Amino acid sequence: MGAFAPTSILKGFPFEGCWFYFSIEDERGIMKFLLEPSETKVTSQQTIKEENIKSLFNLVKNNEQISRAGLVRKTKLSPTTVSILVDELLQANLLIETGLGSSDMPGRKPINLRVCADGRQIPVFSLSRWGVHYTLYDLELNEIETCFVEHLSDQYGGFHSSSESDPDSGNDYCELIYDIFMNKAKNIDSRKVAAVCITFPGIYLEAEQMLSYSAMHVSIKSDAIKLLESKLSLPVFFGNSSMCMAYAEKNTLSRMGREVRDLLYINVTDGVGAGIVYNNQVIMGSDHSAGEIGHVSIDYNGKPCPCGNHGCLEQYINTDAIKSAARKILAEQHCSAAAGALQGRANSVTLENIAEAYDNGVEAIRDLLKNTAKMLYAGINSAVCITGIKQVVLGGDIERLGTGFFNELQQQSKENGNSFLMKDVLISYAMSGSKGDSIGVAEYFMENQLTSFL
């Protein structure tokens, strides 16, 4: 097993640890590969072929109207090589021919190519504190079907667990995934499934051979994942939720005409994680822990964290903490404007309710969001100073606090504008939607791994 994200498992992905670029130049141009130090031996022709076929598939995917001749021009590969590899993609039902294209050159018109949408299926299972969200995609990322199955991870201990180790919930989650795949999914064709993709909001502990989500005190041992693979007779592909969201956001902005090469995606839910994209590559770190911004301390005398540190950002900036603070305000000011704004919601306050109270001018709620913005900005400041990345995207659930919270965050940026390290930092809410993690893992798999199954 290799790693897609610093906190994930990825079957079949050989690129892990300290990365660097290795180039080969021949009559077809320059090919670049991302290799481990231990893999600096002479690259085989098979590796070159795999990289070329992946490149051709992605070029067709990103250019709806492109012919073999167009692929030759873009890749500098020989026409013979392009023709042979395109034929393999056609035979594998990953591409289809769509008819004659246009050309200014005399002679036969070129035949355009496009991705064969129904040639493969990608089922994605997004694991969260509340359960499993299943979505089935085709190769154009059209949503074929979706469902949600509740499975509360609080049953394993939740935020208030006093155990030193995370209870193993792997068998439960994997059995749930298997049940959805076999019984609840109505449109899965296992003959077309390239791989089962799973997103998880925790980190992969290599020595322990398990995924761990410290915020909720749950873990999934690799034995459970291997058993799931065996029962499904399909490869399982894991991706860290925050990394998947970052990848989806990068591609979403690209489709909107904004070529963003560097991006820091801060994922705020019941914990805080970050996905890092640098020079169009997902950064994972040699020990699988890049992006754990939630464990940046903003108060070394603060609350103890399961990671062993004190005052970690995610102890203060998580959806439960924000809603709990709002409920406390409601209890203390039951006769004030807060009660009117949150009337009847004492036990079920949502982030949207808090945003509404802020917009209605409830002073205590305004103070709460101002303080929340101040703490989050401190975490952003640390992340920017460490990475140098100045495109910051906020997602997960935090955007549900609306424009009021965003304005408070922008105000923090103005008040700290004298810092040259934070100059020109752009902060925005995510554009990739509520399923950024599932779309991101499907896109990453399709663009980096799909063709290796030919």
- Which pLDDT belongs to residue 219? 84
* Distant-in-sequence, close-in-space partners of 353: CB < 8 Å, separation ≥ 6: 326, 341, 342, 345
Residue 200: closest CA among 223, 225, 175: 225
Pick from 260-274, 284-298, 336-350, 406-420: least confident: 336-350
Please report where in the chains the tokens 């079949």 appear, as a residue: 12
Q: What percent of the chain is predicted at pLDDT more than 90?
A: 44
Mean pLDDT of 2-14: 35
Residue 34 pLDDT exceeds 50:
no
Count Cβ atoms below 10 Å from residue 309 Cβ, excluding itself. 15
Facing residues of 121 across strands? 193
Planar angle of CA 119, 124, 128, nearest 5 degrees: 175
- What is the rounded CA–CA span in Å between residue 424 and residue 426? 6
Residue 401 φ then ψ, to 5°: -80, -5
How does strand 143-150 pair with strand 131-137?
Answer: antiparallel
- Which pLDDT belongs to residue 165? 63
- Which pLDDT belongs to residue 298? 87
Mean pLDDT of 26-53: 56
| C-alpha distance from residue 296 to each of 103, 300, 385 (Å) | 56, 10, 12
Pick from 27-36, 73-82, 243-252, 374-383: least confident: 27-36
Q: Which residue has the higher pLDDT, 10 or 51?
A: 51
Confidence band for 218, pLDDT divided at 50, 70 and 90:
confident
Asked if residue 147 lies in contact with residue 180, where contact means CB atoms within 8 angstroms, the answer is: yes
- Provide the CATH topology of domain 257-429: Nucleotidyltransferase; domain 5 (3.30.420)
Planar angle of CA 138, 143, 149, nearest 5 degrees: 115
Pick from 126-130, 284-288, 381-385, 444-448: least confident: 284-288
Asked if residue 436 lies in contact with residue 430, where contact means CB atoms within 8 angstroms, the answer is: yes
pLDDT tens column, 241-294: 999 999 999 999 988 888 888 999 999 988 888 999 998 888 877 656 678 888
Please report where in the chains the tokens 């401190």 appear, as a residue: 378
Averaged pLDDT of the chain: 82
- What is the rounded CA–CA span in Å between residue 241 and residue 248? 11
DSSP string covering 228-289:
HHHHHTS-EEEEEHHHHHHHHHHHHHHHTT---S-EEEEEESSSEEEEEEETTEE---TTS-
- Which pLDDT belongs to residue 119? 95
Confidence band for 28, pLDDT divided at 50, 70 and 90:
very low
**Would the CATH topology of 44-113 be identical to that of 119-244+437-453?**
no
Diameter of the chain measured on Cα atoms: 82
Asked if residue 429 lies in contact with residue 187, where contact means CB atoms within 8 angstroms, the answer is: no
- What is the rounded CA–CA span in Å between residue 364 and residue 171? 44
Residue 13 pLDDT exceeds 70:
no
Facing residues of 272 across strands? 268
Q: Which residue has the higher pLDDT, 311 or 307?
A: 311
Pick from 157-171, 188-202, 336-350, 400-414: least confident: 336-350
Label residue 11 exposed, middle or buried (CB < 10 Å: 0-12, 13-18, 19+). Answer: middle
- What is the rounded CA–CA span in Å between residue 422 and residue 244? 25
**Helix, strand or coil, per DSSP, at residue 407:** helix
- What is the rounded CA–CA span in Å between residue 351 and residue 236? 34
- What is the rounded CA–CA span in Å between residue 55 and residue 53? 5
Q: Which residue has the higher pLDDT, 142 or 167?
A: 142
- Which pLDDT belongs to residue 203? 78
Confidence band for 159, pLDDT divided at 50, 70 and 90:
low
- What is the rounded CA–CA span in Å between residue 108 and residue 19? 45
Mean pLDDT of 358-386: 91
Mean pLDDT of 32-49: 54
- What superfamily does domain 119-244+437-453 belong to in CATH? ATPase, nucleotide binding domain (3.30.420.40)
**Helix, strand or coil, per DSSP, at residue 223:** helix
Mean pLDDT of 383-411: 92
Residue 39 pLDDT exceeds 70:
no
Domain 44-113, classified CATH 1.10.10.10, yes or no: yes
Distance of CA 94 to the CA centre of its chain: 24
User: CA torsion 90→95→101→107, rounded to 10°?
Assistant: -20
Asked if residue 316 lies in contact with residue 375, where contact means CB atoms within 8 angstroms, the answer is: yes
Residue 273: closest CA among 248, 246, 254: 246
pLDDT tens column, 169-216: 888 999 999 999 999 999 999 999 999 999 988 777 777 788 887 666
Confidence band for 420, pLDDT divided at 50, 70 and 90:
confident
- Which pLDDT belongs to residue 343? 55
- Which pLDDT belongs to residue 163? 56
Q: Which residue has the higher pLDDT, 124 or 160?
A: 124
- What is the rounded CA–CA span in Å between residue 95 and residue 407? 46
Confidence band for 77, pLDDT divided at 50, 70 and 90:
very high
> CA gyration radius for the chain?
24
Mean pLDDT of 425-432: 91
Helices (H), 109-187: 170-179
Mean pLDDT of 324-331: 85
- Which pLDDT belongs to residue 213? 77
Please report where in the chains the tokens 């949408």 appear, as a residue: 117
Mean pLDDT of 107-111: 67
- Which pLDDT belongs to residue 117? 95
Residue 340 pLDDT exceeds 70:
no
Confidence band for 56, pLDDT divided at 50, 70 and 90:
very high
Cα separation of the two ends of the chain: 19
The residue extents of the domains of the chain are 44-113, 119-244+437-453, 257-429
Residue 316 pLDDT exceeds 80:
yes
Asked if residue 448 lies in contact with residue 203, where contact means CB atoms within 8 angstroms, the answer is: no
Q: What percent of the chain is predicted at pLDDT more than 70?
A: 81
- What is the rounded CA–CA span in Å between residue 155 and residue 221? 17
